[in-house]
Structure 1
């Protein structure tokens, strides 16, 4: 790691079968991400000519082939498939307080006891085509509801006249 590089914020949340890593670095350029089976995770990118890096050892082994990442305009999301389906006691292999740039992603976090109740909800899997289709359906529902309400109001007004 270069002595001049910075650390972007690394947010994490887990399920029994995967870990969601979100690197907050808007407008990142030259993004390079590597993940090794023993849990070695490396990230590097530049923003406005400044290098950013993350080099950490995850708590346990991972399945590289079934893991996937997405580079978006505001962040880089990596869904890391665990080698074994179990809850990790922490994100990093090293014990003690994690580095300041590593934070819990409370938006995606669920407790171990609640995993079965919320399976499928907010799982962290990125399938943006499904997300867009849901938005269109919701928008259409709202529009139909509004049209129904307006037509009822119009009928009520005509009847009273």
Structure 2
């Protein structure tokens, strides 16, 4: 009897990222059909358990442009969509998504935030060797693009926040004067 490996997925408008989590996989075989059928088989573990997987992806794919990297801990696939469009789900059909297929939140991007042509440099891919991907290297940002590199003084920001709170109190009719505060504490 074969087992199902855990699969994580994420998408962009033009591609789907599939990661088959199976450490020390031996004889890994991945087959992708133009109609969107994704098949995987391998053995793993001390007892060489057989793992198999067949997923009917939501739509057609471009097999020639898709890439696969068999690593020590996982098998990572970049599946190029035949038509660049956002899929409402990973698998076709009305059935429930199998329990072993999960969203990869580390790679997920919302449809509104998706920009066509984003490459592997836009996300953390766990230090994978992209030399096998045929020149798919990304920029060298290392995820640093999200940090604010301003020279703003954090103490100044705190003082500005306190001043804004005081203005809100004044608008609400709260007396912020020191005399009022002292009068209420000594009474």
TM-score (norm 2): 0.64
**Are the counterparts in 1 of residues 14 and 116 from structure 2 also a CA contact under 8 Å?**
no
State the match for 1:122 in structure 2.
123
Unaligned stretches of 5+ residues in structure 2: 132-136, 145-187
State the match for 1:51 in structure 2.
50
State the match for 2:98 in structure 1.
99
Q: 1:52 to 1:84 in 2, by over 3 A?
A: same
- Tell me how far 1:98 sits from its aligned partner: 0.3
- Match of 1:20, SS state, is strand
1:1-161 alignment, distance < 5 Å: 4-48=1-45, 49-116=48-115, 119-120=118-119, 121-122=122-123, 128=130, 130=137
- Tell me how far 1:26 sits from its aligned partner: 0.4
- Tell me how far 1:122 sits from its aligned partner: 1.3
- Tell me how far 1:134 sits from its aligned partner: 7.1
State the match for 2:182 in structure 1.
none
**Structure whose alpha-carbon radius of gyration is higher:** 2
Q: Which has the higher strand share?
A: 1
Equivalent pairs, count: 131
CA RMSD of aligned residues (A): 2.5
- Match of 2:54, SS state, is strand
Greater RCO structure (CA 8 Å; 6+ sep): 1
Name which of structure 1's ranges 93-102 and 44-53 shifts more when overlaid on structure 2: 93-102
Alpha-carbon separation, structure 1, partners of 2:39 and 2:49? 17
Alpha-carbon separation, structure 1, partners of 2:37 and 2:99? 19
TM-score (norm 1): 0.74
Structure 1 residue ranges, 4+ long, deviating more than 4 angstroms after superposition: none
- Match of 1:7, SS state, is coil
Alpha-carbon separation, structure 1, partners of 2:25 and 2:38? 18
